[in-house]
Amino acid sequence: MVPLALADELEISHAAGGKITLACSDPELPVGSDNLCVRAARAFLEATGLERGIAISLLKRIPHGAGLGGGSSDAAAVLKALNELFDHPLVFEELLQLASGLGSDIPFFLGAGPAWCRGRGEILESHTVLPSRRLLLIKPPFPVPTAWAYHRYAELVSSRAGVVPDAGQHLESIPIVNDLEVPVFEKYLLLPAMKNWLREQPDVESAFMSGSGSTMVAIMHANTSANSIEALKEKIKAEFGPTLWITETCFRFEPGSAVP
């Protein structure tokens, strides 16, 4: 897993009344007790024995249902922010335990750099060297339910059909393979068509689905110009429609930088 420059923005403050409230810029995102930010705040207060009101304001830049870890990164940010707000009552290992109980991807976002994530995602091994690349993130106007994707994957693994993921792509020495493409692509036919089309573009080094989808990632060749990237954005919209969400970003850490 790799952190990107793209990020949501959270503001967290004390609030009267002893309740946890969440306001979000995305009206489609549920803000009730099942929201990961609210669950993270509740878990933190229960772990520390604090009885305080918490107000959370969330500016969404990462679309939900995109397979980009937006909700998980927000939950991790809430844990870290509350620990700061209350003068660090929990050590990092305790935050990690809370994060693991909330969701498989959340422990990764407590760190600061690329990492190999194993087990359910709670076993982390820092990966300190990453090549510098520009990325295009392309999300169609539909989400892919994560629980469904994993359930369908498990069905395929246990069946005679099995799972044979696409292979042969690399980011330098790092292989790029997403097993979840197999179950997701059989239902959401736009996604494999988009992947194949992206791989045919001369400026695209590799293309793949992020997480359980529905976002497709195009990694650009190292020497691709800004004008070429803008031209590719327009070409994608012309090919697949104007309702796509497309944004350009990059890995958050430069090559060779140490992971704190």
CB 219 within 8 A of CB 203: no
Number of domains present in the structure of the chain? 2
For residue 235, what pLDDT is reported? 96
β-bridge partners, 248: 136
Tell whether omega for the bond before 214 is within 30 degrees of 0, i.e. cis.
yes
Tokens at 203, concatenated? 């400026």
Q: Which of 124, 153, 186 is the last residue of a domain?
A: 124
Cα-based torsion angle of the residue sequence 205, 216, 106, 168 in order, rounded to the nearest 10 degrees: -40
pLDDT tens readout for residues 104-128: 889 999 987 888 888 887 788 887 6
pTM value is: 0.87
For residue 257, what pLDDT is reported? 38
What is the Cα–Cα distance from 39 to 46, expressed in whole angstroms? 10
Tell me how crowded residue 115 is: count the other CB atoms within 10 A of its CB: 20
Say whether both 203 and 118 belong to one domain.
no
Q: Which of 90, 124, 158 is the last residue of a domain?
A: 124
Say whether both 96 and 185 belong to one domain.
no
Say whether both 145 and 39 belong to one domain.
no
What is the Cα–Cα distance from 207 to 236, expressed in whole angstroms? 13
Element (H, E) at 199: helix 190-199
* CATH assignment at residue 37: 3.30.230.10
CB 176 within 8 A of CB 208: yes
Element (H, E) at 39: helix 36-48
What is the Cα–Cα distance from 97 to 171, expressed in whole angstroms? 32
* CATH assignment at residue 143: 3.30.70.890
What does pLDDT average to in each consecutive run of 10 residues of the chain (260 residues)? 92 92 92 94 96 95 91 95 96 93 91 84 79 94 92 87 72 88 94 96 95 95 94 96 94 50
For residue 164, what pLDDT is reported? 67
Say whether both 146 and 228 belong to one domain.
yes
What is the Cα–Cα distance from 169 to 204, expressed in whole angstroms? 11
CB 123 within 8 A of CB 239: no
Task: List strands edge to edge, sheet with 20-24.
Answer: 9-15, 53-59, 20-24
Is residue 4 assigned to a domain? no
Q: Which of 91, 124, 157 is the last residue of a domain?
A: 124
For residue 260, what pLDDT is reported? 30
For residue 51, what pLDDT is reported? 92
Is residue 157 assigned to a domain? yes
Tokens at 5, concatenated? 């420059």
Say whether both 87 and 163 belong to one domain.
no
Question: Which residue range(s) make up the domain with 183?
Answer: 134-250
pLDDT tens readout for residues 53-103: 999 999 999 998 899 999 999 999 999 999 999 999 999 999 999 999 998
What is the Cα–Cα distance from 167 to 183, expressed in whole angstroms? 15
